[in-house]
Amino acid sequence: MNRLIIVSNRTPGKDPAAGGLAVALRKTLADRNGFWFGWSGKLTEKPSPDAMFENIDGLSVGRIDLTRDDHHAYYAGFSNSILWPSFHLRLDLATIEAPWYEGYRRVNAQFAKALLPHLQPDDVIWVHDYHLIPLATELRALGARNRIGFYLHIPFPTTDALYAIPHHNELMRDLARYDIVGLQANRDVIAFTDFADNQSPSSLADGPLEAVDFSRTEVAAFPIGSDPDAFARLATSPAANKMIKRMQRFLDDQRLLIGVDRLDYSKGLPQRVEAYEKLLANNAHLRRLVHLLQVAPPSRDTIKEYQETSDALDAMCGRVMGRFAEPDWAPLTYVKRAYGQPSLAGLFRLARVGLVTPLRDGMNLVAHEYVAAQNPDNPGVLVLSRFAGAAEIFPEALLVNPFDTDETAEALRLALEMGLDERKQRWQALMDAARHYSIDNWAQNFLARLNPAGAQGGGGPDRDFLYLASVA
Ligand code: ADQ
- Determine the distance separating the centroid of ligand 1 and the alpha carbon of 295, expressed in angstroms: 12
Quick check: is 106 in a domain?
yes
- Nearest atom in ligand 1 to the alpha carbon of residue 261 is 20
- Determine the distance separating the centroid of ligand 1 and the alpha carbon of 235, expressed in angstroms: 17
From the list 169, 112, 163, 172, the residue with the least C-alpha distance to 142 is 112
Gyration radius of the chain over CA positions: 23
Query: pLDDT > 90: what percent of the chain?
Result: 85
| Ligand 1 contact via 10 beta carbon (within 6 Å) | no
DSSP code of residue 253 = T
DSSP code of residue 235 = T
Amino acid type, 408: T
Nearest residue (CA) to ligand 1, atom 8: 364
**Tens digits of pLDDT across the chain (472 residues):** 899 999 999 998 876 556 678 878 888 888 888 999 999 999 999 888 899 999 998 899 999 999 999 999 999 999 999 999 999 999 999 999 999 999 999 999 999 999 999 999 999 999 999 999 999 999 999 999 999 999 999 999 999 999 999 999 999 999 999 999 999 999 999 999 999 988 866 555 555 567 899 999 999 999 999 999 999 999 999 999 999 999 999 999 999 999 999 999 999 999 999 999 999 999 999 999 999 999 999 999 889 999 999 999 999 999 999 999 999 999 999 999 999 999 999 999 999 999 999 999 999 999 999 999 999 999 999 999 999 999 999 999 999 999 999 999 999 999 999 999 999 999 999 999 999 999 999 999 999 999 987 755 444 444 444 443 333 2
CB atoms within 10 A of CB 470: 13
Q: How far is CA 107 from CA 72, 97, 140, 299, in A?
A: 10, 17, 16, 22
- Determine the distance separating the centroid of ligand 1 and the alpha carbon of 256, expressed in angstroms: 21
Quick check: is 470 in a domain?
no
What pTM, to 2 d.p., does this model score? Answer: 0.94
Which residues is 469 bridged to in the sheet? 220
Quick check: is 398 in a domain?
yes
Amino acid type, 172: M
Pair 49, 180 in one domain = yes
Pair 24, 135 in one domain = yes
Q: Please give the positions annotated as active site.
A: 153, 361
Quick check: is 193 in a domain?
yes
Pair 378, 281 in one domain = yes
Number of domains in the chain: 2
From the list 276, 288, 284, 277, the residue with the least C-alpha distance to 252 is 288
pLDDT the model gives residue 202? 59
Domain housing 294:
228-436
Q: What is the pLDDT of residues 334-368, one digit of tens each?
A: 999 999 999 999 999 999 999 999 999 999 999 99
